[in-house]
Chain A
Amino acid sequence: MDQFLLVVEVVLRGLFLGMLYALLASGLSMVFGVMRVVNFAHGEFLMLGGFLAYFLWSLGHVNPLLTIVIVMPVMFVAGMVVQRLLVERVVGKPVLSSLLLTFGISIVLMNLAQYFFTTNLRGIPYMGEPAQLLGASYARYTLLSFGIGGVLGTVLFSFLRFTSWGKAIRATSQNAEVAMACGIDVRRVRMVSFAVGAALAGAAGVLAAITSAVYPAIGSIIILRAFAVVVLGGLGSIGGALLGALLIGVAESAGTFYLSAEVGQIIAFVVLIMVLLVRPAGIFGARVEA
């Protein structure tokens, strides 16, 4: 029985961890699906969202949870601007151009953050009291962040599945030429997809600031996990990204618990390699699905 509860705890911790990856990876995957651009700067949107939440809370005395209501629209607009001014230029260009561009944006944002915010860790102490769940005790913020992630994931899924903008995004990723023949302005679709991805990454940043801490390099570290998740789930597949994220989260949690923290750090990539050996296209296809 104890053994069983322990497994439950390891899985739950994995799911909690995976939710953060899911928020990041779903946006990354959507952007890739719609414009075939791998966005190396996606993690920096998480970092900026986290810092914005931290300063809204520490300087503006905004309730940590409410910061998400400010961070997401701000990151949405920031995403629109970055897409229109920079990323749009490399759509349809050789993959090296887009890699260099987004990698460059990533480095610039990270260094600006270091310059203005220093390399200090900034965490928001909030809902730290423990709560019992299925025989183990978790900080309340862990459960809270899982809940918020779940709500956002559900909203994204419904957006893609049921709204006309969501359908336009999926159509564009499956066949941009036919989407144009439907009267869709695919440039606007690319801008909106990128902005939605940035907003989700910003939300992940808020959750990171509440559940642990943010610092300038957090984006470049966590993005590697998100890449593993995206490739695992199938480039462009949102459903795949969500599943892949939870799978990686659980694998990481199990690796840390049963083996060692170091193993936990690399387990995402081990799982990735194993899955790709069996299914080279990832768990799902290579289009924006929901």
Chain B
Amino acid sequence: MRLVRHIAAASAFAMIAGAAGAESNVRFWYHFDNADNPIDDLVAKFEATNPDISIEAENIPWNSYYDQLYTSIVGGNAPDTAMVKLFAQPRLIELGALAPIDDMLAEWDDANNLQEGLLDLVKGGDGNQYYMPVQYVALYLYYRPDMFAELGLQVPTTCDEFHDVAKSLTRDTDGDGQIDVYGFGFRGAKGGHDHWATFTLGAEGVSLTEGLTSDAGVAGTQFVADLFQKDGVFPPSAPNDGFQEIIGAFKSGRTAMTIHHIGSANGMVEALGDNVSAAPVPACGGGQWTAFGDESTAVLSGAEDKEAAFKWIAFLSSEGNNTLFNQATGQLPVVKADAANWTLHPKRFVDATINSLEAAQLLPASPATSDFVNTVWPTNMQRVLIGEITAEEMNANIELLFTE
């Protein structure tokens, strides 16, 4: 009889535990290039401490990440939480897709462990907090110290120096009459606006929302066009080159400089060893401009259990877990303690990132920014590079987008 009672009690307990186990399900969308995909470890760790919440993490390919996110929101099938970038925030707010996390954030003990100012930086335009920072980078210039030494060149600090250095680096190294090394790997396809912005938006009074059609603004775009058409310092495939192409070309020694962030540093070191280093981007038109690469997580307004969703994103931005997360993405942690103990990248790349922060800028918080990034910039830049339109026309098209 006692045995029966025990069994009954045990099964009742199991049922309760089972029911509790299924209490909340949080769907999370993210994008990792890393094939090892260590998110499973993070999920297991989270579920062990939060047995009443189960996490359903889905890796969405980066190229169509936002297309899928927006359509899933409108289609009513959005995830509960997602990795998000700042440029998308105005559009997501306009869609009413984000849930404010101010109250939950106020009660979260670990908020003070985040690096200073980051929470403010990602605050929504309407004053609410929607985003929880999870990683960051700043773009800098990758260069080949061995090639620079061979030719007696210094790392360029201005666009004029950059122009001369890039020209010297573009050469035929084996004497077959073919160019083997190009000075700079320019990203002409989607995502390359950061390269163009370095050469264009550094000038005084020039930004995406003003001064783009001034002489100084047009000069920046013209500088890029001339580097390709007149000086031939970009590989001929530059108009179509995306992330894979510029990184691949740099690793194989096809290009001597390019612009990207610390996320690709370990791969570069694997391929080139000590023959790769980094420095802040050159100052162009009198000022320095580089992109601040942000990544946050957010709770979506359609989430059923917002507390559980917040617990998950807070977990990713807390001590130790944030290191695990950035191990996967190769970017830099937002938690002070994790940043202090950071050993996952060679120091020279961390230094270059920190030295670039001063010049790091965000794209304007405007719903037009998405179109700028996804279609307007790539198409116009490509048309300039292949000589279909002029630099003035390109800048006018971008200005029109932001003033419409």
- Does A associate with B in a complex? no
